[in-house]
Structure 1
Amino acid sequence: MTYQQAIQIAKEQLEAKHIYSGFAFNYMLELTQLQDLNLYLIKDEEIPTSLLEVYQQGVIRLLNDEPLAYVLGFEWFYGRRFKVNQDVLIPRQETEELISNVIMDMDELFEDHCVIADVGTGSGNCAITLALETNSQVIATDISFEALEVAKENNKLLESNVTFFQGDMGQPLIDNKLKVDVLVCNPPYILEDEEVQSSVLTYEPHSALFGGQDGLKYYRQILDEAKFFLNDKAMMAFEMGFSQQDNLRKEILKRYPHAKVSFKQDISGKDRMCFVYLNTVY
């Protein structure tokens, strides 16, 4: 059987179950790249039996609606490969946009060395990316021991130097009397009764998805905590649901009445990022 034939069979199987058929090609592409093979050059060649077995086993998992990232064991983020498993949320493209905006704002606002906190780090994708892209001191927290184990492994694999603390949201920063210039947080923000894609609901950790009845539970918590660890001149950056702008602005201004609040759109034109500036000229 050739690579192309194996892909075609998998595509037909996925289509029959109304699952995105492009996973068939994407999965094979990643598997061949891991072996330093160029799928585009070898697609009509015989696929080795060992690789075919791995591919077919993975396709079975895809047919059960398991996300491709979990089948592979990794996801790409900001050009780097991050290990993921069902203990952590899969990094998304929208979060890459958040990090890009954070980096641009940091260049504008802070001339000197910055201290960044990534609260609810998950796989560590945001914290590690910021550490590698900005050479800043980065601290990351997560309540989940299992998630932190994944983040620490990514930190080692990618030769980063993030410092990790286990604890609830910003509490470890307070307990350790730390001060930061930039807070980055992608908290759980899905409403309790919001409809969620079945593969996400079945496989990804619910603790990283759902943010209470209105989706703002964890924003309130971190906004309450932030006053204890933010420097006077500081910036906060959040990912958010596209319909949460007005309510989130109210929660921010209730606690930081003199802050400048700015919402930024993702590549789809939806408000998905919230930036809060404290005592800055931005």
Structure 2
Amino acid sequence: MKFEELYEKETFREVLAGASSFLKSRGKEGFAAEWLLRERNDLSKTQLIRRYSEPMSKAVKEMFLSDVQSFIEGLPLQYIVGHEWFYDRKFNVSSNTLIPRPETEEWFDRYIKKLPNQPFKVLDIGTGSGVLAISHKLERQDDQVVAVDISSDALEIAEDNAATLGADVEFYKSDLTQAVKDQSFDLIISNPPYISINEKSVMDQSVLDHEPSVALFAREDGLEIYRRLAEELPLLLKPKGKIILEIGYLQGESVYNLFEKAFPEAEIDIWQDMAGQDRVVFVMT
């Protein structure tokens, strides 16, 4: 089937089936067609099924097939529609921000459910689209949440997300903690750049082509930011404070050792994700 032939399909079922088959024939995931159609048109699975036998309007079809073409050309799904879901909330994303990953949502869910019932002052370092800071504030309204990022473009997206979702978060442009070094926090969270430059050869090309490299890669085999945080965070963390850092799956021991030296009296643990890979270093002083 030629791509142009998809425009001749009529019903939702026919257009969707044709697009899915076309994607598979090009080595792409067929499920992406349904995802694009539902997310672009704000349709639930049930709502889509109910429309299967209806003719697809010209406007909807043209937008849908344009999205499919963008996906074939390598643009990530989330950048095509301009959003991704995190903790049941829709967050705008762009090529200036990382796409939130399920692994991050997993550890967010783990800690947010276990925090004590008392107000915390929270710092999110490298907030990107703001998913962690905003989700935390919306789940714990009494907490004061501060978020920083080195990218002005990312902060603009995060501030828009906070306004849309009604989250009162303070945002600062900052190289790690420089803009907030006069403050102290009960909880510090971060999903920093941690991929080694040497890992580029095994990464998905769409990630390399479209996601911001400043939010992906770090020098010193991916450990540069953790070394800096191990130096800076002892000056910001309150007594009996907590630090939660996402890590690469091979970095558990190295990051553990950095923070063991920085916080010699602290209890430090490594959390694994659902795949059994090291994913978080948790520090409790």
Q: 1: distance between equivalents of 2:194 and 2:237?
A: 22
Amino acid at match of 2:236: F
Q: Check if 1:126 corresponds to 2:132.
A: yes
- AA in 1 matched with 2:132: C
Which among 117, 120, 126 is matched to residue 123 of structure 2?
117
Structure 2 equivalent of residue 256 of structure 1: 263
Q: CA shift at 1:249, angstroms?
A: 1.0
1:8 corresponds to = 17
Which of 167, 172, 180 is residue 185 of structure 2 equivalent to?
180
Contact 2:245 2:282 in 1 (8 A): yes
Corresponding residue number in structure 1 for 2:74: 65
| Bigger mean CA deviation after superposition, 92-101 or 142-151 | 92-101
Ranges in structure 1 where 5+ consecutive residues have no aligned partner = none
Separation of aligned partners in 2, 1:213 and 1:17: 38
Q: What is the identity, as a one-letter code, of the residue corresponding to 1:190?
A: I
State the Cα deviation string for residues 114-161 of structure 1 (Å, max 9, x = none): 000000000000000000001111000000000000000000000010
2:254 aligned partner: 247
Deviation at 1:16, TM superposition (A): 2.5
Residue 197 of structure 2 corresponds to 192
- AA aligned to 1:21 is G
Q: In 2, distance between residues paired with 1:87 and 1:37?
A: 33
Q: Which residue is 1:49 aligned to?
A: 58
2:105 to 96, 114, 123: 96
Aligned: 1:32 with 2:41 = yes
User: Could you list the runs of 5+ residues in structure 2 that have no partner in the other structure?
Assistant: 1-9
CA RMSD of aligned residues (A): 1.5
Runs of 4+ in 1 over 3 A off after TM superposition: 34-37
Q: What amino acid sits opposite 2:28 in the alignment?
A: I
Q: Is this contact kept in 2: 1:19–1:65, CA < 8 A?
A: no
- Tell me the residue number matched to 2:148: 141
Q: TM-score, normalised by structure 1?
A: 0.93
Partner of 1:106: 115
Counterpart residue identity of residue 239, structure 1 = E
Distance in 2, Cα, partners of 1:125 & 1:212: 25
SS in 1 for 2:18: helix
Distance 1:44 1:222, change over 3 A: same
The CA deviation at 1:36 is 11
The 2-side partners of 1:154 and 1:187 are apart by: 20
Residue among 156, 165, 168 paired with 1:161 = 168
1: distance between equivalents of 2:11 and 2:97? 35
Which has the larger displacement, 3-12 or 19-28? 3-12
Partners of 1:69 and 1:199 lie apart in 2 by 12
Counterpart contact for 1:74–1:83, Cα < 8 Å? yes
TM-score by length of 2: 0.92
C-alpha displacement of 1:35: 9.8
6-15 or 192-201, larger mean C-alpha shift: 6-15
Secondary structure, aligned partner of 1:106:
coil
Q: Percent identity?
A: 34
Query: How many correspondences in the alignment?
Result: 273
Does the 8 Å CA contact 2:272/2:280 hold for their aligned counterparts?
A: yes
Q: Which amino acid aligns with 1:57?
A: S
Q: Secondary structure at the match of 1:168?
A: coil
Partner-residue secondary structure (3-state), 1:12: helix
